[in-house]
Structure 1
Amino acid sequence: MRSHLIKGLLLLSCIFVLSESRAVTQKEKHYLLERISEWDKAPEAVKIVEGRVTTRHGTKKYRFVYKAEDCSSCEAVLNVKKSGKGHYTWECKRRDVYEWALRLKKLDELKHLVEKHLLKASTDQGQRYNLRRRPDKFSVGDLVLHKSFNLSSAEDRAAAKLFHKYKGPFSVMQVTSGGVCKLQDSAGKEVGMWHPSLLKPYFPPSPLRGVCAVEKI
C-alpha cells in the first residue's frame, strides 16, 4: 500500500515538473507584443493586459488578453516550441464599456442635432408669426377696441359668429409695467384690465367713408 502511494506521489511530481504554469513576466509581455505585430490581420496591440504561460515538454503555451488600438479586448493563444516556431489563434471582442461609450456619444450628437433643428424651427415660426403681429404697446389716452367674448344662445336666437369680434372704443387710463391696460368707456366707467394681446388700436371712421362722389355731367 505504501509503495503504491509513493509511486503516485512520484508521478504527480513528474507531471508538475513537466508542466509549469505561471503569470507572464514584463519581458514576456514585450515579446508577445512583437509576435502580435507579425500576425496576419490581427489588430495592432497596445499593451498586454494579463496572461499566463504554461510550459510542457519544452513547449510554451501563452494564454493572454491584450488591448487593441480600437479599444477592443482580444483573447489570444500562442504556442511556441523550442525552435522558436509556433502557431497562434486570436479573437477580439469589444468591451461593454466601450460599446456604451459609443452609444452615449451618438446620443449626445443626436441631442445637439435635435436642439439645432428645434432652434431653427422656432426662429422660422417666430419670423412668420411676427409678420402679422400688432405692436402690444399702448399709451395712456389711446383709443382701443377690446376683444368680444360672446356665446351663442338658442333662447335669444343669437349666434356668436354673427356678433362683432371687438367692442369699443375705449380709452386707456393706465398702463402697467407688464403692458396691461386699464380701460374706461366714453362715460368714464371703468371696464377692467386688459392684456395688450386682446386689444387693437381704434381708428375713427373717415367723414368721406361710405360717401360716393357723383360727377356732374
Structure 2
Amino acid sequence: MASTLEALKSAAEAALGANILSATIDRHELTLVCRADTIIETCTLLRDTPSLRFEQCVDLCGMDYSAYRDGVWEGSRFAVVCHLLSVANNQRVRVRFFATDDDFPVVPSLVDVWPGVNWFEREAFDLYGIIFDGHPDLRRLLTDYGFVGHPFRKDFPLSGHVEMRYDPVQARVIYQPVTIEPRENTPRIIREENYGG
C-alpha cells in the first residue's frame, strides 16, 4: 500500500511540478495542497495525465480553518477540498486549494473540468461564502434566498440572525430578528430504583 501511494505521490509531483505546495501521505491517504491560481490547470492535469487519470471528482467542499487546532492555524482561512477518484487506476487523492483573500474568498470554478461539481460548488458558496469564479449559476442551494450570512463559517452565530415563521394575520411567511434566548443544554439524567433489574 505504501509503495503504491509513494508511486502516486511521485507521479503527481512529476505531472504538477510547481503547482504543488505540499504532498503528504497520512493514514494511507495522499493529500496535495496546490496553489489556488492554478486550480483549473492542476485539476486538468490530474484528470488527463495517463499515469494519474482522476476521471471523477466525487466530492468538493469548503473548509474554514479560522479555529483549526484551537486557533493556532497560521495561513489562509478558507479552502476548497476536492476528493478525486481514478477508476482506471483504482486510486484516490485529496487536493486542497486555499483562497488567498480571507475577507472575500474566490477560487476558479471546476465545472468545466468535472461538470458534476456544479452543486458541490453551490453548496460551498452557500455554506462558506466561497465564490467560484466562472460558475454558470452560482446561487444558494440549501438556505433560503433571503438568508443572511453563511452558516458553516466559524464566526456565524449559533442561533443565526433571523428566524422565519408564518404570520396568520398577514397570511404569509415573515422574517424577524431571532427571539431565541441562548441557553446551555445539559442532559437530564433520571435514575430509577429498579431500572435494568
After TM superposition, is the score higher than 0.5?
Answer: no
Range into which the TM-score falls when normalised by the shorter chain: under 0.3
Structure with bigger strand share is 1
Structure with bigger helix share is 1
| Greater C-alpha Rg | 1
Q: TM-score, normalised by structure 2?
A: 0.21
Q: TM-score, normalised by structure 1?
A: 0.19
